């Protein structure tokens, strides 16, 4: 089985470890590099952390894939949520593992056709 692991967590709008101005009313776009445990290489998966207060202010309709809903933004909680998701995504090959991760997160190669 290919066990996925976090290689790095990236956020272009918010430095890792810093809190947004209102951690209970925010939307933070995050990219996480995930690859096979103990091996070189990773692929980028992305999602948006949103809080209920943020969603209440937005009137547009949207789907939920690629969203992590949190009462209050917290980097440790974001990382724990990813850590909790990944063991359930382990499959026989990396491609199968990545496809499983992409059921919850957006994958940089999800629409790629070789």
Rounded to two decimals, the pTM is 0.91
Kindly report the backbone phi and psi dihedral angles of residue 85, in degrees, each rounded to the nearest multiple of 5, phi listed first.
-70, -45
pLDDT digits (tens, 9 = 90+) for 1-32: 999 999 999 999 899 999 999 999 999 999 99
112 assigned to some structural domain: no
Reported as a pLDDT band with limits 50, 70 and 90, residue 110 is confident
Overall average pLDDT of the 47-57 stretch: 94
Domain count, the chain: 1
114 assigned to some structural domain: no
113 assigned to some structural domain: no
87 assigned to some structural domain: yes
Alpha carbons 13 and 83: distance in angstroms, whole number: 22
Residue 13 lies in domain: 4-107
Q: Which residues contact 21 (CB under 8 A, 6 or more apart)?
A: none
pLDDT digits (tens, 9 = 90+) for 26-43: 999 999 999 999 999 999
pLDDT at 75 over 70: yes
């Amino acid at each position: 089985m290919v066990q996925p692991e976090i290689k790095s967590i990236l956020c272009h709008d918010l430095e890792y470890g810093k809190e947004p101005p209102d951690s209970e009313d925010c939307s933070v776009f995050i990219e996480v590099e995930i690859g096979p445990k103990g091996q070189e290489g990773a692929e980028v998966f992305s999602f948006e952390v949103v809080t209920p207060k943020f969603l209440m202010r937005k009137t547009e309709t949207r789907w939920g894939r690629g969203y992590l809903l949190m009462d209050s933004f917290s980097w440790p909680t974001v990382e724990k949520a990813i850590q909790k998701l990944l063991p359930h995504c382990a499959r026989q090959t990396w491609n199968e593992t990545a496809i499983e991760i992409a059921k919850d997160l957006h994958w940089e190669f999800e629409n790629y056709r070789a």
